[in-house]
A and B are shown apart, each in its own frame.
Chain A
């Protein structure tokens, strides 16, 4: 009898633990099995429910901008995989126009560098670029910190998320919270992922598109993130009003190069390119098939003898688009946590 009681007690305890683990598991970073190792420093800033929720609140709070009008999620909208749903160039305070298209921010935990020019080396340092840019939120980090400290509820929320913080909110904790939120935005449940993991099927056209994609696009859009995380001049221009990667490396060899973007959720993240010049995937593929322009730094992947670009027939383009749409992750954009 005693043994039975002990067994029941242990079973109960174990069950309780398991239940706890499941519920906190929802707010823990989990690497999808087919993804590469994350680059983010989770050992220093592990995701907690409190930190994630705080980051989510800050991400959606227009107090980050000078006149309390623009939040992060103005230009990074969940419904379109955290890209800008309409503007080619981001719109900041006073309707000021930025210089680049706001990209989707899924799978940031796996990226080595951030921004179209890769000028940011660690995810924590990405948000101040938008917050302090005069064309975007036009606010000072110090002032954001001041506003947060004056708020009636933020200080307690910060202290709960970061017990090591002390009484006053400081900027690194704001950035850690934002990173906790952003690193959780993992998109790995598209139709393609279910196919990849042997849990779903692609149609015949989609499979054919995947094969074409591997032949013609995967030199740059490689791996499960669909980017080699390098910088390429993809032949948009012959002269470069935006220096791109050269702004960071200060090397003429990088003029007009921009980060090869991930193609996950690409169906949703229009308009395309660093300046949002193309509205549809068809326009993008037309560019690669027949619009690539010669310049000194043009990607070698886009030079095939005398031909510039990627040879693509009309039916091949259509099949590739069919495949690209399998990268749309409906579970991701409907995830209630985000």
Chain B
């Protein structure tokens, strides 16, 4: 009898174990392609952005104050992406900042379509309905010294030397109401009579607390779940609306300071990022 009990326990254990194993084997980790579509919502209609050459007086966009503007350059960092699911699924993108390269810091540039597609890999199989990410590069990209890849200070064009750290969002363009005089810009010259530069940075979330921190950690819940596993190739579409960047929490007045190069000057635009980014849709 004892022997029978023992054998049956063993058999049950083996069956149970292999059942678990089978379940794991059927769903291998998968990928999720996260698209960042830069748009302008005009009269409730999404329009894809179009960049103009510097100096162009062709103004396709209007801010909440009725001021016309255009865009020469739009670039931002997305980093430390996390996914969560309703059943406790969790994924944190691998982060690395070394001289040989960096991982988990993505530089999205409107002029480079490939930069707007972020492929997340090795995501545990399951259902996800929430994404969280940082707009900008936090102290993890600074405190270990010089890094390469998307963080390479020589090539990213997003690094402040004087207050060493990464710009989170860089906009350059012009408005017919701006009186120009922009300095330190990539595409706009000081003699451009209508130039504008909004370089939004400020990463020091260090204890003494006097620094303006302009990076934003944002979370968005989807209206559905996205299924991730090796047999699927789902896509998540996020949007970034330049109209909301200049007018949501705060209406940015282009007749005011339009030459923004330090953290305190960028606080309002940084606050607006909470509304400028949004979840749009999922392709399963």
The A-B contact count (CB < 8 A) is 97
Against A, the Cβ 8 Å flags (1 = close, 0 = not) of B169-181 are 0000000000000
Given contacts A121-B164, A129-B162, A250-B212, contact A171 B100 (CB under 8 A): no
Q: Which of A117-157 contact B (CB under 8 A)?
A: 119-125, 128-129, 132-133, 140-142, 144-145
A164 CA to B99 CA, complexed, in Å: 9
B263 interface residue per 8 A CB criterion: yes
Given contacts A179-B145, A251-B210, contact A170 B161 (CB under 8 A): no
Q: Smallest CB–CB gap between B101 and chain A, Å?
A: 9
Q: Which of B130-184 contact A (CB under 8 A)?
A: 142-148, 152-155, 159, 161-165
Given contacts A121-B142, A170-B152, contact A176 B212 (CB under 8 A): no
- How many chain B residues have a CB neighbour from A under 8 Å? 27
B264 interface residue per 8 A CB criterion: yes
Question: Is the CB–CB distance between A142 and B164 below 8 Å?
Answer: no
Residues of A within 8 Å of B152, CB to CB, are 170-172
Question: Is the CB–CB distance between B146 and A124 below 8 Å?
Answer: yes
A117 CA to B75 CA, complexed, in Å: 29
Residues of A within 8 Å of B204, CB to CB, are 121
A226 interface residue per 8 A CB criterion: no
Contact of B154 among A122, A164, A171, A251 (CB under 8 A): A171
Question: Is the CB–CB distance between B146 and A175 below 8 Å?
Answer: yes
A200 interface residue per 8 A CB criterion: no
A6 interface residue per 8 A CB criterion: no
Residues of B within 8 Å of A162, CB to CB, are 99
Q: Which of B117-136 contact A (CB under 8 A)?
A: none
A165 interface residue per 8 A CB criterion: yes
A173 CA to B152 CA, complexed, in Å: 10
B211 interface residue per 8 A CB criterion: yes
Against B, the Cβ 8 Å flags (1 = close, 0 = not) of A101-124 are 000000000000000000111111
Q: Smallest CB–CB gap between B149 and chain A, Å?
A: 9
A313 interface residue per 8 A CB criterion: no
A314 CA to B152 CA, complexed, in Å: 54
B98 interface residue per 8 A CB criterion: yes
B262 interface residue per 8 A CB criterion: yes
Q: Smallest CB–CB gap between B75 and chain A, Å?
A: 16
A25 CA to B161 CA, complexed, in Å: 33
Question: Is the CB–CB distance between A172 and B142 below 8 Å?
Answer: no
For A132, A142, A170, A253, the residue with the greatest tally of chain B CB atoms inside 10 Å of its CB is: A170
Q: Smallest CB–CB gap between B271 and chain A, Å?
A: 16
Residues of A within 8 Å of B144, CB to CB, are 41, 44, 122
A69 interface residue per 8 A CB criterion: no
Q: Which of A1-56 contact B (CB under 8 A)?
A: 41, 44-45
Question: Is the CB–CB distance between B100 and A132 below 8 Å?
Answer: no
Given contacts A170-B148, A171-B146, A172-B99, contact A250 B165 (CB under 8 A): no
Residues of B within 8 Å of A145, CB to CB, are 154
Interface residues of chain B, those whose CB is within 8 Å of chain A, are: 98-100, 142-148, 152-155, 159, 161-165, 204, 210-212, 262-264
Q: A45-B99, A170-B155, A176-B146 are in contact. List 5 more A-B contacts (CB 8 A).
A: A122-B145, A132-B161, A142-B154, A173-B146, A175-B145
23 of the cross-chain contacts (CB-CB < 8 Å) are A44-B144, A119-B164, A120-B161, A121-B204, A122-B143, A125-B161, A128-B153, A142-B155, A165-B100, A170-B154, A171-B146, A171-B148, A171-B153, A171-B154, A172-B145, A173-B99, A173-B148, A175-B99, A176-B145, A179-B146, A247-B162, A247-B163, A250-B264
